């Protein structure tokens, strides 16, 4: 088991290194003239040179990479301040939004998938599949803007912004987060429901489920004790792999609802040409995703004796 | 985002067999109501993309500062925006860039992904492991986030958009193709070709490729929906299609700030247009998938 975890950690470190190389290449190496692209075509050549020097892009590539990674996260060109103290709290606020989305969508998605599977091939199943599949591919800003028009502007039930006034209580904060969370829930619902459906259909079809039915167990007991236990494990790992897409969605949702998280920070960095900030945000997002999948992987194998025992061999 | 498992029934690389499969597919699709609805809606938007400027009652780019933020009326069916431009005309013409960028980007990703997937699946070993690591590192970043950093450093143009989305789709498609190739390479016709002394590239592209065509086609249609998703999202974030082009996502991004003031028409019609296009593509890709699975 320990060996399995160590191996997973080692692989994660290699992936992390490659990830940092990709971000570094995209941010600093591929653009032919970073100073110029920040300052624009009309800028003074001296200013461009000075900025290139400040960014360190006039040095050899390996030195640049080392300077960047050893000073991570570095200094924002937009705020002229260290990135860490800005990025940290923003990440915290995004995690709050993400957790809220997961709390709503995981039970809902699993329920949708299981109901679908139990009604395999019937209209209920088809409806859930089509709704889920369509929701999966509608961009968050589209569902978000329609929700704003209906619930915030026309009906005036919910606020347009996602940020509650400072010092407001728990329920007020939740009220402000409801609209931003729905588009994220819509996207994830389709995916989780599909996984739960596939898992449940497979488990229902298995020999142990048939045995349980044939030995006379009530349908409810078979489903609860034999089917769900086996079908939900893979679904839960899939939920973890969705974190990345959820963060991608956060960039859009935080922009649309002006919510001060890592998504809005990434958006502003991209549109203000704040390359160090952009690189820091992107790498942080990658790291968060990898940590979550790693935890999910390890806890999945701890929960599932089939993997635990195979790894111990 | 997803790997679609399609059972790959190998019939050997017989041309007639391939044609048969394609004819069955078309026959199956023509009976599927979902496919027909999707195709009709898609056709409507294709017509708008091609003849949009002729159909539109007003020039989508002409500003009329004396008629800004007008609500829908008989002269402006969908109202006017903050610059007094006709929203109806902008919705009709606004499909054009997406219709050009999405298929080209998906095609680029499919071609690159197929080549890499064939190499990974056929040679396996070190090549597969090394490429696999890179694929995994790429997948650790949400597409929107990688797109955001790539487009903001490489420059914002439709060409860069096509290349970035195509390259970002490559690892996903490569993964699907690799899985299909791993199944195929164990079959007799591949060993036969190897014993005949055929070289790797010949076996990959002439023997295996025709037999993994079905999963690649499914992957293409699924990716097309995501390409539309990605293009619209990146445009909304300011790094995709650039103003003053009439574009749905661009219009939503430019006008969502005035929605709280009650000017709902400036974003709602574009949002509905996006939903119809994406649902149409999803219906088509779902019915192709279902028809292939039935066979």
Nearest C-alpha neighbor of A117 from the set A212, A192, A185 = A192
How far is B6 from chain A, CA to nearest CA, in Å?
A: 14
B20 pLDDT tier (thresholds 50, 70, 90)? low
Cβ-based neighbours of B205, under 8 Å, separated by 6 or more: B118
3-state secondary structure of B197: coil
The three-state secondary structure class of B86 is strand
Q: What is the pLDDT along chain A (313 residues), one digit of tens a residue?
A: 777 788 888 888 888 888 888 888 887 766 656 666 667 767 777 877 777 777 676 777 777 788 777 777 777 777 877 887 888 888 988 888 888 888 888 888 888 888 888 888 888 888 888 788 777 888 888 888 888 888 888 787 887 777 777 777 777 788 888 888 998 888 888 888 888 888 888 887 778 878 888 888 887 788 777 777 777 777 777 777 777 778 778 888 998 888 888 989 988 888 888 888 888 888 888 888 888 888 877 777 777 666 655 554 4
- A150 C-beta neighbours (distance < 10 Å), count: 15
pLDDT at B163: 92
Q: Residue A145: which of B148, B233, B267 has the nearest Cβ?
A: B267
**% of chain B residues with pLDDT over 90:** 14
Tokens of A16: 């992390």
Mean predicted confidence (pLDDT) in B27-48:
87
- Structure tokens belonging to residue B37: 């609805």
State whether B141 and A19 contact (CB < 8 Å): yes
What share of chain B in percent tops pLDDT 70?
Answer: 92
Which of B38, B79, B142 to probe by mutation at the A interface, max A CB count within 10 Å? B142
Which one is predicted more confidently, B213 or B21? B213
Q: Do A248 and B278 touch (CB under 8 A)?
A: no
Between CA B276 and CA B93, with CA A252 as vertex, the angle to 5 degrees is 40
Mutation site, B144, B232, B233, B281, interface A, largest A CB count within 10 A: B144
Q: Look at residue B141 and tell me whether its pLDDT is greater than 90.
A: no
Contact A75, A237 (CB under 8 A): no
Between CA A216 and CA A212 the distance in angstroms is 7
Q: Which tokens hold the place of A59?
A: 């040095």
Tell me: cis bond preceding B244? Omega within 30 of 0 counts.
yes
pLDDT at B109 over 90: yes
Half-sphere exposure of A267 (CA within 13 A, CB side): 27
Helix (H) or strand (E) holding B281: helix B265-294
Residues of A in contact with B226 (CB under 8 A): 137
Q: Quick one: B94-294 is in which CATH superfamily?
A: MetI-like (1.10.3720.10)
- Per-residue pLDDT, B210: 84
Q: What does pLDDT average to over chain B?
A: 81
Nearest to A27 among B1, B153, B239 (CB): B153
Tokens, residue A245 = 């897409």
A139–B249 C-beta distance less than 8 A = yes
Query: CA A285 from chain center: how many Å?
Result: 8
Q: Which of B152, B154, B233 sits opposite A139 (nearest CB)?
A: B233
Give the per-residue pLDDT at A296: 77
| A191 has a chain B CB within 8 A of its CB | yes
Q: Which residues have C-beta within 8 Å of that of residue A128, sequence separation ≥ 6? A: A112, A113, A115, A116, A193, A197
- Residue A204 near residue A249, CB atoms below 8 Å: no
Please name the residue of chain B whose CA is at the shortest distance from the CA of residue A159. Answer: B260
Q: Where are the alpha helices (DSSP H) in chain A?
A: 2-24, 34-39, 45-55, 61-70, 84-118, 123-137, 140-147, 170-204, 207-214, 219-221, 229-241, 243-257, 262-271, 275-303, 305-312
Q: What's the confidence (pLDDT) of residue A306?
A: 65
In angstroms, the CA A160 to CA B95 distance is: 28
User: pLDDT for B156-199, tens place per residue?
Assistant: 888 989 999 998 888 888 888 888 888 888 888 888 888 888 88
Q: Is the reported ipTM for this assembly greater than 0.85? A: no
**What are A76's strand-pairing partners?**
A81
pLDDT of residue A33: 65
Q: How far is A161 from chain B (nearest CA, A)?
A: 10
3-class SS at B74? coil
Contact across the interface for A31 and B226, Cβ inside 8 Å: no
H helix or E strand, kind and range, residue B272 = helix B265-294
Chain A partners of B262 at a C-beta cutoff of 8 Å? 153
Asked if residues B80 and B64 have their Cβ atoms less than 8 Å apart, the reply is: yes
pLDDT tens digits, B235-294: 999 888 888 888 888 888 888 888 787 788 888 888 999 999 988 988 888 888 888 777
Task: Give the pLDDT of residue B201.
Answer: 84
Whether the ω angle into residue B263 lies within 30 degrees of 0, i.e. cis, is: no
The pLDDT tens digits for A27-48 are: 776 665 666 666 776 777 787 7
| pLDDT for B46 | 92
């Amino acid at each position: 088991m320990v060996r399995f975890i160590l191996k997973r950690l080692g692989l994660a470190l290699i992936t992390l290194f490659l990830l940092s190389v990709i971000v570094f290449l995209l941010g600093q190496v591929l653009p032919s003239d970073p100073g110029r692209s920040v300052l624009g075509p009309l800028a003074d050549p001296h200013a461009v040179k000075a900025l290139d020097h400040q960014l360190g892009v006039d040095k050899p590539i390996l030195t640049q990479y080392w300077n960047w990674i050893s000073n991570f996260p570095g200094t924002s060109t937009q705020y002229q301040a260290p990135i860490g103290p800005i990025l940290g709290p923003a990440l915290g606020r995004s995690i709050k939004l993400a957790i809220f989305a997961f709390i709503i969508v995981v039970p809902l998605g699993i329920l949708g998938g299981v109901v679908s599977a139990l009604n395999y091939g019937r209209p209920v199943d088809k409806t859930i599949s089509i709704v889920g599949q369509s929701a999966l591919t509608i961009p968050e800003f589209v569902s978000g803007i329609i929700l704003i028009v209906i619930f915030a502007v026309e009906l005036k039930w919910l606020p347009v912004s996602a940020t509650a006034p400072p010092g407001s209580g728990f329920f007020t904060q939740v009220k402000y987060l409801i609209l931003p969370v729905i588009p994220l829930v819509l996207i994830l619902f389709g995916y989780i429901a599909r996984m739960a459906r596939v898992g449940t259909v497979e488990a229902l079809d298995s020999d142990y489920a048939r045995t349980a039915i044939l030995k006379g167990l009530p349908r409810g007991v078979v489903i609860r004790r034999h089917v769900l236990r086996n079908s939900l494990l893979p679904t839960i790992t899939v939920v973890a792999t969705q974190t990345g897409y959820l963060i991608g969605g956060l960039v859009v949702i935080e922009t649309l609802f002006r919510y001060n998280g890592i998504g809005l920070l990434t958006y502003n960095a991209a549109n203000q040409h704040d390359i160090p900030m952009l690189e820091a945000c992107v790498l942080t997002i990658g790291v968060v995703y990898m940590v979550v999948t790693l935890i999910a992987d390890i806890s999945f194998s701890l929960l599932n004796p089939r993997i635990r025992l195979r790894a111990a061999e | 985002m997803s790997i679609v498992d399609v059972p790959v029934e190998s019939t050997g690389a017989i041309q007639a067999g391939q044609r048969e499969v394609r004819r069955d597919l078309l026959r199956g699709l023509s009976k599927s109501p979902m496919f027909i609805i999707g195709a009709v809606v898609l056709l409507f938007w294709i017509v708008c993309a091609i003849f949009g400027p002729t159909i539109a009652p007003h020039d989508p780019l002409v500003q009329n500062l004396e008629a800004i933020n007008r609500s829908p009326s008989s002269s402006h069916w969908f109202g006017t925006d903050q610059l007094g431009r006709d929203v109806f005309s902008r919705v009709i013409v606004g499909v054009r860039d997406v219709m050009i960028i999405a298929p080209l980007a998906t095609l680029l990703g499919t071609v690159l992904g197929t080549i890499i997937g064939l190499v990974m699946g056929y040679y396996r070993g070190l090549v597969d492991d090394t490429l696999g690591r890179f694929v995994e590192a790429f997948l650790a970043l949400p597409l929107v986030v990688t797109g955001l950093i790539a487009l903001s450093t490489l420059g914002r143009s439709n060409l860069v958009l096509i290349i970035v989305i195509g390259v970002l789709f490559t690892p996903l498609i490569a993964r699907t193709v690799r899985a299909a190739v791993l199944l195929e390479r164990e079959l007799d016709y591949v060993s036969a070709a190897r014993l005949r002394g055929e070289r790797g590239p010949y076996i990959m592209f002439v023997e295996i490729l025709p037999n993994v065509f079905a999963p690649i086609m499914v992957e293409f249609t699924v990716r097309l929906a995501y390409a539309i998703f990605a293009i619209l999202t990146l445009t909304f974030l300011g790094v995709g299609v650039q103003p003053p082009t009439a574009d749905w996502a661009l219009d939503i991004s430019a006008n969502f700030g005035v929605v709280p003031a009650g000017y709902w028409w400036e974003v709602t019609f574009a949002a509905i247009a996006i939903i119809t296009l994406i649902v149409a593509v999803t219906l088509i890709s779902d019915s192709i998938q279902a028809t292939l699975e039935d066979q």
